[in-house]
């Protein structure tokens, strides 16, 4: 029996039917095949904020199965009673459209672009194109803008921009991390702009406002966050949203509240490490 599952916590299953929120957005009509590893075959229809799934007979919609003969030792063969195993690969057939990405599936899904049967394409009338990066001083005065149109193919176009960004004056904020460690954030004001439509559909930007985002580019003098010291590591850089009317300090103060940082850091008491 096929075990239907989509969101887990919000799934409502009625025999061979499932109804759930559309966690990926967009729309889809996809038949997926599989055995126990893939919870059986199913038909998924997504759209208008919801997902409907129907369990299908795996006998009629089987996955790709290939018998493999590995070089097992005799003890393993005796224990299993065979010298082979099934290599099972899911297959999908259908279309999926989400976030402007159109995906056509027409066979096995190996998660390897050289062997799977999937074709995808970003629809140009749904995409945003990058326009510029602008840099500002700590008082919010414009310093310089680098436009995407000025970049030339085959040339390291970022070198001059990175050199300029490294030369900018920073605003430094001393804060305490969750464990009390005092760290300094070095902040610069940057702004990016995107406009709607790519390729032949750039004209669509005439009918939509540009997407402009100003933020603090943050670099920390030490790792920050609950993962620091682990193999995953903490973060050494981040960005903080700047809203209209924000100063660097007000933006960093809001960022500190969101990330559970203490700003400003408490003044060390006498005898405490400076």
Sorted by sequence, the CB contacts under 8 Å of residue 203 that are 6+ apart come out as 197
Q: Comparing C-alpha atoms, which of 34, 25, 26 is closest to residue 93?
A: 34
* Cα 55 from Cα 25, distance rounded (Å): 21
* Cα 274 from Cα 262, distance rounded (Å): 17
pLDDT at 269 over 60: no
pLDDT at 260 over 70: yes
pLDDT at 48 over 60: yes
The pLDDT value recorded for residue 247 is 95
pLDDT band at 2; cut points 50, 70, 90: low
Largest alpha-carbon pair distance within the chain? 77
> Do the strands 182-196 and 12-14 form a parallel or antiparallel pair, or are they unpaired?
unpaired
pLDDT at 256 over 60: yes
The pLDDT value recorded for residue 9 is 83
Tens of pLDDT, residue by residue over 86-144, are 888 889 999 999 989 999 999 998 888 888 899 999 999 999 999 999 999 999 999 99
pLDDT at 24 over 80: no
Residues 193 and 132: beta-carbon distance below 8 Å = yes
pLDDT band at 203; cut points 50, 70, 90: very high
pTM (predicted TM-score) = 0.71
Name 172's bridge partners: 186
Q: Comparing C-alpha atoms, which of 128, 165, 126, 159 is closest to residue 144?
A: 165
Sorted by sequence, the CB contacts under 8 Å of residue 9 that are 6+ apart come out as none
* Cα 110 from Cα 125, distance rounded (Å): 30
pLDDT at 1 over 70: no
Please give the sequence-ordered ranges of beta strands (E in DSSP) within the chain, or none if there are none: 12-14, 17-21, 27-32, 41-47, 50-56, 64-68, 85-89, 91-98, 101-108, 118-122, 128-136, 142-147, 171-176, 182-196, 211-224, 235-241
Tens of pLDDT, residue by residue over 232-254, are 888 999 999 999 999 999 999 99
């Amino acid at each position: 029996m096929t075990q239907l599952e989509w969101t887990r916590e919000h799934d409502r299953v009625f025999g061979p039917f499932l109804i759930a929120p559309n966690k990926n957005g967009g729309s889809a009509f996809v038949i997926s095949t599989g055995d126990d590893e893939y919870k059986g075959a199913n038909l998924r229809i997504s759209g208008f904020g919801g997902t409907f799934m129907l369990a299908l007979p795996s006998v009629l919609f089987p996955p790709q199965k290939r018998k493999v003969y590995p070089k097992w030792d005799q003890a393993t063969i005796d224990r299993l009673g065979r010298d082979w195993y099934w290599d099972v690969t899911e297959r999908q057939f259908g279309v999926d459209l989400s976030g402007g990405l159109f995906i056509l599936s027409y066979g096995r899904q190996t998660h390897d672009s050289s062997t799977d049967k999937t074709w995808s394409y970003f629809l140009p009338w749904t995409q945003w194109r990058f326009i510029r990066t602008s840099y500002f001083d700590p008082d919010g005065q414009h310093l310089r803008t680098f436009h995407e149109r000025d970049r030339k193919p085959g040339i390291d176009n970022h070198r001059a921009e990175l050199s300029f960004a490294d030369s900018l004056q920073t605003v430094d904020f001393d804060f305490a991390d969750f464990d009390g460690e005092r760290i300094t954030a070095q902040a610069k004001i940057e702004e990016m702009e995107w406009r709607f439509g790519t390729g032949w559909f750039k004209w669509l930007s005439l009918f939509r406002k540009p997407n402009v985002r100003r933020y603090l580019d943050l670099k920390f003098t030490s790792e920050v966050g609950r993962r620091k010291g682990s193999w995953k590591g903490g973060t050494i850089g981040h960005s903080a949203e700047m809203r209209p009317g924000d100063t660097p300090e007000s933006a960093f103060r809001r960022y500190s509240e969101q990330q559970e940082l203490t700003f400003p850091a408490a003044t060390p008491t006498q005898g405490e490490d400076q």
